[in-house]
Amino acid sequence: MPASQSTVTQSLIRHDAKQFLLDNCGEIYQEWTSLLAKTTLPAEATSSDQRILDMLLTLDVAFNTASQRIIRLASIQLTRVLKGLKEKVKEDRRRGLIDGQRSKRDASIVIDIYCRATGKPRALVLSNTRFANRCSALAKDSLLAIILTDHDAKLIKNTSISISRLQAIAEEITRAYPPELILALNYLSNDGSKIAGDESSLMLVRRIMLA
């Protein structure tokens, strides 16, 4: 019999989450901002820009490290990059910059670009994309996924649990954690690309956590 959603949620909550983030926010900040500095989509780039291929390769390398935290961070950023790339493909198609692929959906062209960047077979790229999407669903548009218990690894891989259920679980976890913890995670997640390398931002995160 499948576990209830509340049972699953409780199994994922790290009861020392606030102290864990305080102890590790320096490393998390450096890892996240370093990744963003290398993989934030340039506003002026087209979908065929070599920089986008380089970014996808960087994320793929990070995605295959031994560090579970970096895998989570790479998964969150990969989902964002692919979403942004899909918008660029749509715009390039509108401007007539994509030839001979009228029958292909934008999402399919994005996967083609991902395959070209990494040299990996489509099946593996799709598998990585699915994992990243599921991890991002549990991250709830922030870095929530990096401060859950180890039980979430099985949850992310369990494809019988839908994306919508993962999102609902993330909502429950967000309500269970202290507001200052969620605020700090959202700040790191949403403002990291603007403040990469600015140590004062890390001090602000610590002040939020200690409030």
What's the pLDDT tens digit per position in 99-124? 766 778 999 999 999 999 999 999 99
Average pLDDT of every residue of the chain: 84
d(CA 183, CA 97): 41
More confident residue, 134 or 197: 134
Name the token pair of 11.
């199994």
Domain count of the chain? 1
- Which range among 39-43, 159-163, 184-188 shows the weakest confidence by mean pLDDT? 184-188
Question: What does DSSP assign to residue 144?
Answer: G
Task: State the residue range of the domain holding 73.
Answer: 5-210
d(CA 4, CA 164): 15
Who contacts 107 (Cβ-Cβ below 8 Å, separation ≥6)?
Answer: 86
The candidate with the shortest Cα–Cα distance to 29, out of 195, 209, 208, 210, is 195
Amino acid (one-letter) located at 38: K
Inform me whether the pLDDT recorded for 49 exceeds 70: yes
Inform me whether the pLDDT recorded for 39 exceeds 80: yes
pLDDT score at 58: 97
Handedness of CA 142, 144, 146, 147 (dihedral sign): positive
Give Cα separations from 89 to 44, 108, 110, 113 (angstroms). 13, 10, 7, 10
End-to-end CA gap in the chain: 42
Question: 17 pLDDT band (50/70/90 cuts)?
Answer: confident
CB 132 within 8 A of CB 64: no
Inform me whether the pLDDT recorded for 97 exceeds 90: no
- Mean pLDDT across the stretch 16-28? 85
pLDDT score at 193: 46
pLDDT score at 21: 85
- Mean pLDDT across the stretch 11-33? 85
Inform me whether the pLDDT recorded for 83 exceeds 90: yes
